Structure 1
Amino acid sequence: MAFHCTLHQFFGVALLVLLIVRPSNSAGSSKANEVDGGSISYRALNQRHESWMRKYHRNYHNDTAAQEKRFNIFAANMNFIDSFNKGNHNFSLKSNNFTDMTNKEFTESYTNSRLSHYFRYGKPQPSPTNYSYQPPNGIDWRDKGAVTGVKNQGACGSCWAFATVAAIEGIIQIKTGKLTALSEQELVDCVPPRKGHKSCDGGYVKRAFNFVIHNGSLTTEDNYPYKGVPGPCNFTLNSASDLTQASGVTIKGFKQVNNDETELLKAVARQPVTVSVAINTTILQSYSAGVLTEIGCGSDINHSMTVVGYGTENGTDYWLLKNSYGPDWGDSGYIEMARGVNGGICRITEEAFYPVID
């Protein structure tokens, strides 16, 4: 928690420094043309921003005030990213689609800060404490054809839906040999949100699993495509006659993994598993690659993803998680998180679930 505070303090100082040293239009301002002890010149930073805007199709429509505001945010984020990457860390950061957003904006739109309100919902079956086989040293369900392409939740707090769907897609492929993208939008539209809120305000995987169980199935993404905003539940599109029952598969329940890394490893060795983590959103916003260590954790559980594998990289054990920020984020849409951390990295073992099929 101490580092969590330090990150935000550093981020604030970075923005203040950039605003102070940004060159004015007056003559003789060139000496104030360097940022962070000469690490980033204003000219170079402006060029990076222009290139970034072209890549991510940012157009401020001649609104100079808006462009100035977003440039300053971009500058602070880049200063933080560059400074962090100079440190001795197991993972790195990079610019991405979120780099002109404040951390507050990112957190409100792309994470699930209300997860704690949902922990009491649903009654998953207890997970077996022991399996009769020895799990492999590593597994990547992508290599086994059980993981669809990385998806993008957009500016909607629907990570819970994407994490649930990825786990169901995986177990159906493992059971039938057929990998088909399923509908997150069906969950966003049809799973009742917490009273006074909408599905894009956050949700929880237990509600999603319960809906699929009671509905009898989950339809395909092609049949019920993602829109990124909640709408009325389309009972025609979510017909149980589509994928899960048509494949001879029914999601009959879901189980919670015991709060233990060994048990999580055994579960992931069998199928993809949904988890919810307490991750530092400043790090999450700009994660690039490498194994995230405890320095990247926060205090409150705030984001759901799907563990689709585990392994060892340069002597460091890791979990492989599929995120829902699109393939440009992170390591082609994925993040590695340290394995073997006492209590589980970023509380990863506390809320881990997997679907059970016939």
Structure 2
Amino acid sequence: MNKKFIILSIIMLMPLCLTQDISVEQLLAHNKWSSQNQRVYLNDDEKLYRQTVFFDNLQKIKEHNSNPNKTYSVRLNQFSDMTREEFVEKILMKQDLIDNYMKGNGQYNNANNESQMNSQNHTLAASIDWRKKGAVTSVKNQGGCGSCWAFSAAGLMESFNFIQNKTLIDLSEQQLVDCVIPANGYPSRGCDGGWPANCLDYASKVGITTFDKYPYYSHQYNCTVNVKDTNNGFKLKKWIVIPNTSNDLKSALNFSPVSVRIDASSWGNYDSGIFNGCNQSQISLNHAVLAIGYDEKDNWIVKNSWGPAWGENGYMRLAPNNTCGILSSNVQITA
């Protein structure tokens, strides 16, 4: 980085340094982070506010990582100039959509949904990771659109397609964002949030095309899918709801990855390790990811959609049992 630019940045931020007891080390950290994340703000007031939020998050990260009792580490990333409340509002699903779901307005109501499956009477593997089997596509980035539900569902279909047809292709999240909508009979709302189960029902009827034919734009547009294109994509036949127990999720993961809904309110700055930082007494299922396995200690392995720079190359390890509500709302393709 240009040395003159660094010095100039420090000089410009010295008033902030003096009024808020900010160190040169913190200023350099902000300058480096801002350059890496290509931050551009509307005006000086917003820039000053975002710097203040950044320094607060930087201090929290330092305190967290210095605590030897923590089982996971945190770090700076693309969300580090957001407060936790802003992160929840901008990146996760909208609360009113979640509230309607909890009232029953978004419950599964799909013709191709089978009855819930009980735990299978077969020996479970000590650990499983579908990445090692070549069944998981690369980590994507949903951007500023709350389309996690589409990424979770597309990832599920990509993996099942590989298991069934031995071909790994990227499917179109944008098609799901644009087409799994109220006008087509689904309560999902594009960048405000939605339900992976709606995607599965839609794909069982229409099919889903490939990413290259219908690429992702991080916004919701009109549904423009050409049904002929879905012939080269994927069309599922059946799917199930997984019962809410650890054994049932482990059993399902021995068959294929699983689309899961969780509370990601405290996930923003996750870096690595076994995450157990959710408030288990107040779970809001505001995010969807793809569970792709578990390790020898029963920690869940999940694929996120915030890009490979987040977490463990785009993945997270969650503590066992119902951490962050991972057992609450899960679906899997069976045919």
User: Residue in 2 aligned with 1:19?
Assistant: none
Query: How far is 1:302 from its partner?
Result: 1.1
Letter in 1 for 2:290: T
How has the CA–CA distance of structure 1 residues 96 and 211 changed in structure 2, closer, same or farther, with 3 Å as cutoff? same
In the other structure, the counterpart of 1:94 is 75
Once the two structures are TM-superposed, the CA of residue 78 in structure 1 deviates from its matched residue by 0.9
Query: How much does 1:151 deviate?
Result: 0.3
Task: Determine if contact 1:115/1:204 at 8 Å carries over to the other structure.
Answer: no
Unaligned runs of 5+ in 1: 1-21, 35-40, 245-249
> In the alignment, is residue 213 of structure 1 matched against residue 226 of structure 2?
no
Paired position in structure 2 for 1:355 = 333
1: CA distance, partners of 2:187 / 2:117: 37
* 2:141 counterpart residue number: 152
Quick one: structure 1 residues 57 and 220, their matched pair in 2 at CA, closer, same or farther if it must change by over 3 Å?
same
Q: Tell me the amino acid that sits aligned with residue 201 of structure 2.
A: N
Cα 1:130/1:33, change in 2 over 3 Å: closer
* Corresponding position of 1:232: 222
CA distance, structure 2, for counterparts of residue 111 and residue 207 of structure 1: 18
1:285 maps onto 2:268 in alignment:
yes
Identical positions, percent: 30
What TM-score comes out, normalization by structure 1 length? 0.81
CA distance in 1, matches of 2:20, 2:46: 22
Looking at structure 2, the residues matched to 354 and 196 of structure 1 have their Cα atoms a distance apart, in angstroms, of 20
3-state DSSP of counterpart to 1:241: helix
Structure 2 residue ranges without an equivalent (≥5): 1-12
Do residues 270 (structure 1) and 255 (structure 2) align?
A: yes
Question: Residue 258 of structure 1 aligns to which amino acid in structure 2?
Answer: P
AA at the equivalent of 2:57: N
Secondary structure class of the residue paired with 1:284: coil
Match of 2:290 among 301, 306, 326: 306
Alignment correspondent of 2:191? 200
Q: Residue 123 of structure 2 aligns with which residue?
A: 134
Deviation at 1:160, TM superposition (A): 0.5
How far apart are residue 356 of structure 1 and its match?
2.4
Q: Is the Cα–Cα contact under 8 Å of residues 126 and 257 in structure 1 kept in the other structure? A: no
Q: Report the Cα offset of residue 104 of structure 1.
A: 2.4
Distance 2:260 2:99 in 1: 13
d(CA) in 1 for partners of 2:85, 2:240: 34
- State the shift of 1:278 in Å: 2.4
Alignment partner of 1:170 out of 156, 159, 167:
159
Q: 1:181 aligns to what SS in structure 2? A: coil
TM-score where L is the length of structure 2: 0.86
Deviation at 1:120, TM superposition (A): 1.4
Q: CA deviation at 1:59?
A: 3.2
SS of 2:302's partner is strand
What does the per-residue CA deviation read over 1:271-321, in whole Å, with 9 as the maximum and x for residues that have no partner? 010011123x2x211111111125465521111111001103xxx430000
Over residues 176-222 of structure 1, what are the superposed CA-to-partner deviations in whole Å (9 max), with x where a residue is unaligned?
1110000000000000149998411111112111111121x110001
Q: Which residue of 1 aligns with 2:92?
A: 111
The answer (yes or no) to whether the contact 1:139–1:309 under 8 Å persists in 2 is yes
Q: Is the 8 A contact 2:290 2:303 kept in 1?
A: yes
Match of residue 10 from structure 2: none
Kept in 2: contact 1:23–1:42 (CA 8 A): no
Cα 1:180/1:116, change in 2 over 3 Å = farther
For the pair 1:331 / 2:320, whether they are aligned, the reply is no
SS in structure 2 at match of 1:304 = strand
Residue 82 of structure 1 deviates from its aligned partner by 1.2
Supply the RMSD in Å over aligned alpha carbons.
2.3
